[in-house]
Amino acid sequence: MRCVVANWKMNLHFAEASNFCAAFAEDYTPVEDVRVAIAPPSILLWTIHSQLRERGVTTFAQNGHFDSKGAFTGEISMSQIRDAACSGVILGHSERRRMFDETDETLAKKVAAAQGCKLLPLLCIGETMVEREREQTFSVIQTQLSVLKGVSSGPIWVAYEPVWAIGTGRTADARQIHEAHHFIREELRVILGEAGSAVPILYGGSVNMGNFANILSVPEVAGALVGGASLDPTAFAQMVKVAQSA
């Protein structure tokens, strides 16, 4: 299975999202075994769902709270995300870890809450440049993956997103991606047992039309979590085609 997920972050308004869907639908033909998801700002989730559900495109939220309801102004719960017809939720994106103090402890609760609501958690992990230079890449990844310990072995996707490659135009090279994905696979097997072999591991960080085919040819890369380039429907449709023909 291949997966291509658009992370729109805090971009686009209603009319732009609607135009994106119309343009994307023109270029997109679903293919079995290639999953396509869009994670827009939560206020646009229903717009995307209603325009693209018949094409088999699913929606992911970009974050969710672990409590089921209550006095948490500004938050949305996993069951509300599910209620908005999402199939998954991005968790632990480095922007949330860095700017909103997301911790591994909180993430463990979020992963469990998402699975409890039948949402697919897409757990993001990855090192900063300072950590890479200090040769801490693997230990950082190991710690971030440890949130999966004790979590039921429901479906989960992982995205390796080196922080230094996000929004910088600088992707990790094939060797760096291979090393990291191979290490993640081994860790997933340790934590989840046999189920760890089946977890799709996506790469994220400055993926675009020009580099996606090469990235996808790296062993253990099941697809991409695409930021900036996913805001352009033509570029995103092109990347989906790359995944479909890989």
Size of the site for ligand 13P (CB under 6 A): 14
Copy the structure tokens of residue 50. 């209603």
By CB under 6 A, residue 41 contacts ligand 13P: no
Question: What is the distance between the alpha carbons of residues 179 and 126, in angstroms, rounded to a whole number?
Answer: 12
Per the CB < 8 A criterion, the answer to whether 201 and 158 are in contact is yes
Cβ proximity to ligand 13P, 94 vs 115, nearer residue:
94
Q: Which is nearer to ligand 13P, 52 or 226 (CB)?
A: 226
Query: Is residue 120 a contact partner of residue 89, using CB atoms and an 8 Å limit?
Result: yes
Residue 95 or 193: the one with the smaller Cβ distance to ligand 13P is 95
CB closer to ligand 13P out of 196 and 227: 227
Residues in a beta bridge with 124: 159
Residues 56-95: x where in contact with ligand 13P by CB under 6 A, - otherwise, as a string: -------------------------------------x--
Sites for ligand 13P among residues 161-200 (CB under 6 A): 161, 166-167
Q: CA-to-CA distance for 64 and 91, rounded, in angstroms?
A: 8
* Distance of closest approach, residue 127 Cβ to ligand 13P, in angstroms: 14
Helical (H) or strand (E) element with 145: helix 137-145
Least distance to ligand 13P from the beta carbon of 71, Å? 30
- Which of the following is catalytic: 95, 127, 131, 161? 161
Measured CA to CA, the distance from residue 125 to residue 143 in angstroms comes to 9
Closer to ligand 13P by CB, 7 or 58: give it: 7
For ligand 13P, which residue of 206, 212, 215, 216 counts as binding (CB under 6 A)? 206
In whole angstroms, the minimum distance from the beta carbon of 233 to ligand 13P comes to 15
What is the end-to-end Cα distance of the chain in Å, rounded? 11
Question: Using the rule CB under 6 A, is 207 a contact of ligand 13P?
Answer: yes
Query: Rounded distance, CA 55 to CA 58, Å?
Result: 9
Strand duo 88-91 + 34-39: pairing:
unpaired
DSSP3 helix / strand / coil % (the chain, rounded to 5): 50, 15, 35
| CB of 221 closer than 8 Å to CB of 181 | yes
Please indicate whether residue 49 is annotated as part of the active site: no
Give 244's Cβ-side CA count (13 Å radius): 14
225 binds ligand 13P (CB under 6 A): yes
Report the nearest approach of ligand 13P to the CB of residue 122 (Å).
9
User: Does 95 participate in catalysis according to the annotation?
Assistant: no
Binding residues for ligand 13P, rule: CB under 6 A, are 7, 93, 161, 166-167, 204-207, 225-229
Catalytic site positions: 93, 161
